[in-house]
Structures are given as C-alpha cells and as structure tokens.
Amino acid sequence: MLFRRAGPGDRERAEPLLQKFEDDYIPLVWDEWAALEPGGIYLAEVDGAVAGIVCIQFVRPEEAYLAGMRIDPDLQGRGLGTEFARFQVEECRRLGARVARLLTAHDNVRVHRMMATLGFGRVGGWLIGRAPLDWQAMGHSGGPPARESGGAAALAYLAGRSQGAGLPGVVSVPGDPWLLRSLRWEEEKPENCLAVAGGRGGVVTGAALVEVGPDWEGRPTLTVRWALADPGAEEALLWLLHGQALRRQVTGVVYSLPAEMQWVEDWAKGLPGGEGGWSERFAAYEIWL
C-alpha cells in the first residue's frame, strides 16, 4: 500500500478507478484539483494500481479541506479508506494545516465510522437545496413589503443573535457548497448582508448573509448562507431573500445552511413547485492538528 501525491500521467492511471463511480464529478475537476498547491490530488496504490484518490485543498493557509475521497469498490470495507485518511491527516499537518475538515452525506456510515476512529469531531450538520423561482406561480413580485436596512444592521443582528462568540462555526463557500471555511464577519461585504426591519420603529427582526454568483453548474444564483429571524418574522425575511433574488435577476435560490436552519427549508418547500430540489444533508467534521 502506497500513498502519494498525483503527478503527470496519473489521470490516465486513475481512469479505471474513476470509471467505477458513475456520474461522479471527480473527472470534471481533476485538472483543477491536480494543480492545487499546496495540496492537490493524492493517490492510494495497491499492487501498483490506483486504488483510491482524495483531494487536499487549502481554504486558508492553515485550514485544509479533504474532498472527493474514493476507494475502489472492489477493495472497500477492508480498512484501506481508514489508512488512507490517516495519511491525509498527517499530510495536512506536514503542509502546515492547523485544522482539517470535511463534509460527508449524513447517511454515509462508513465515513462516520472512519471519523470516529481518527478522532475527528462532528461540528454540525448542513443542508443544501435549490429553491425554484417561479414568480408567476407564486403570484408574488417578491413577497410582502419589508423595510430593508443596511448591511451593518444585518451583521449586528446576526452577531447579537449568535451571542457574538466564535461565530458560527463552519459555512460553505458561496458558489462552491463542497468547500468549508470559517465565517469571518469582517470579511462579509455589506451588499451581501440583508436585514429586514419589521414591527414598530423599524427594529431589525431578521437578517441573512447571501452571495450572488454562479452556482456549481454556472447558473446565476443567490446563495443564502445564514439566516436568523425573530419568532414570527421568519417569513418576512425569506420573502425579502426571494425579492432580492428577483431584483438581482438570478435563476434560483440556493440554501446552503447549517442544519438547525431547517425552518428555511420547511418554508421554501411550501412554495409552488418547492417540493423539488431539496435537499442534500451533510455532516461537517474537523480535526485540530
């Protein structure tokens, strides 16, 4: 068993392995991943053949993310994945990472067991869904009127509601829901922070962090990464988000949210046609090195 970084010519050598995973996205991102530095694609070899792959990515200089691990289906369940993952953690450390993270489907039992063996901690759940934007069917032009206030008010609200400390764990990178990063308030652009003011006196009752850009298939999209609202103000906030999506002329709203924001999904499912497009669920893991 040998673990090593992929080099020139390894794409062809990995082809038989990649073909065993139907409709997988790895072939589409291979070149991009292979060029990453530090990190890149790593291979597990058994008897001279490629038996496993993974990509080590650096989201920030000291934050590694493990993506797209695959073990040859004919060799799964024999401990190879666990050994390979142990190597990956060491490699992240060697490359200077202080933390390594990954996302896995909530029902991927093998990965959950592997994480337990390797000492990763579960740091939250994630849901990703795409809501349709069929405004005619909705009979709305952006929902009930809501007084919007600026980015600063939104940030203040979000920070206050999150008790201000260590906020808020991990979130996905807009436009690339497969990556994780730590959210840093100071990096948020005001135009990506939306607040809705309701009630008397224009008090902010809900806020969200959003980003407009292409989704993973290149469609112009409004991605909602964080959403908090006072009880009773949830719907106004969500209509504000959809109103923004309309104004910014995107083709859909992607929710990429911590699992505890399930209420957003529940609401979006109630929209006409909203049952479709939901939802993938992930668990986020991390290990400090």
In the list 111, 194, 196, 208, the residue contacting ligand COA (rule: CB under 6 A) is 111
Least Å distance between CB 165 and ligand COA? 29
Nearest residue (CB) to ligand COA, 74 versus 186: 74
Q: How far apart are CA 199 and CA 38, in angstroms?
A: 51
Minimum distance, C-beta of residue 269 to ligand COA, in the bound complex (Å): 26
Q: Are β-strands 220-229 and 252-258 bridged in parallel, bridged antiparallel, or unpaired?
A: parallel
> What is the residue-wise DSSP string for 10-70?
HHHHHHHHHTTSTT-SHHHHHHHHHT-SSSEEEEEEETTEEEEEEEEEEEETTEEEEEEEE
Q: Which of 40, 81, 124, 168 binds ligand COA (CB under 6 A)?
A: 81
Q: Binding to ligand COA by residue 77, rule CB under 6 A?
A: yes
- Residue 230 burial by CB count (10 A; 0-12/13-18/19+): exposed, middle or buried? middle
The one among 57, 88, 104, 205 contacting ligand COA by CB under 6 A:
104
How many helices (H) and strands (E) in the chain? 8, 14
* Choice from 16, 61, 79, 273 touching ligand COA (CB under 6 A): 79
Among the listed ranges 87-95, 104-112, 174-182, 215-223, the one in contact with ligand COA (CB under 6 A) is 104-112
Return the number of the residue (59 or 133) whose C-beta is nearest ligand COA: 59
Cβ–Cβ contacts within 10 Å for residue 252, how many?
16
Closest CA to 284 of 100, 10, 43: 100
Q: Which of 117, 137, 141, 191 binds ligand COA (CB under 6 A)?
A: 117
Nearer to ligand COA, 118 or 159 (CB): 118
**Per the structure block, which two tokens stand in for 50?**
């490629």
Q: Is 3 in the site for ligand COA (CB under 6 A)?
A: no
110 lines the binding site for ligand COA (CB under 6 A): yes
Residues that bind ligand COA (CB under 6 A): 69-71, 76-82, 102, 104, 108-111, 113-114, 117
